[in-house]
Every structure is written in C-alpha cells, then in structure tokens.
Amino acid sequence: MTSETYTDFGVRTIHGAYWMLIIMALLAANTVVVYGVRMHEVYRAALAGVWVVGVTIGTVSALKRLATLEKSEATKFAFEHVMIEPILGFVPLILLWLP
C-alpha cells in the first residue's frame, strides 16, 4: 500500500472513488430517465432523480473532507464506508427500475 492508497483492494484512491461515483451516478440517472419515459411516472422518476443527486452530493462532500484529513487507520476505515454509500444508494434503484 502506498501513501496515496486507502485500501489494498478495489478502488484504492480518492481519484478512483470520484470515477466510480461518476460512472454509477450516470448509470443511475439514465435508469431513472428511461423509467420515467417508459412508465410515464414523472413524479416518481423526479423523486428518484433527486435521490441520485442527493447521494452524489453527499458522497462528494464526504470524499472532499476525507482528502483533507491526515491519513491514518481511521481515515482508511472512513474511506471504505464512503465507498459503500453510492453502492447502497444507486444499486437498488438501478436493479429495481432497469427496463
């Protein structure tokens, strides 16, 4: 493990975490749009879109705070938990609404 990595497996750096977040947020947003168009449920799709934006903002905020902290075992633990936030926020939405 180098000084820039937070874990030994998976997404290891803050930069990688941002990329994973972008990919997952785009996939979730596309799923929400397709669901809204196909099912004609605009309000439900809009609520899901707000959810995607909220999870994205929360994760970006946590990653910014984490990047400013001194690296220790606690920050490595916090990084692992920050990486779980988009997974738990987006994956159920994507799996439930995939056309």
pLDDT tens figures, 54-87 = 999 999 999 999 989 888 898 989 999 999 999 9
Q: Whole-prediction pTM value? A: 0.86
Q: What is the pLDDT of residue 3?
A: 63
Contact at 8 Å (CB) between 16 and 67? no
Burial 65-88 (b: 16+ CB within 10 A, else e): ebeeeeeeeebeebbeebbebbee
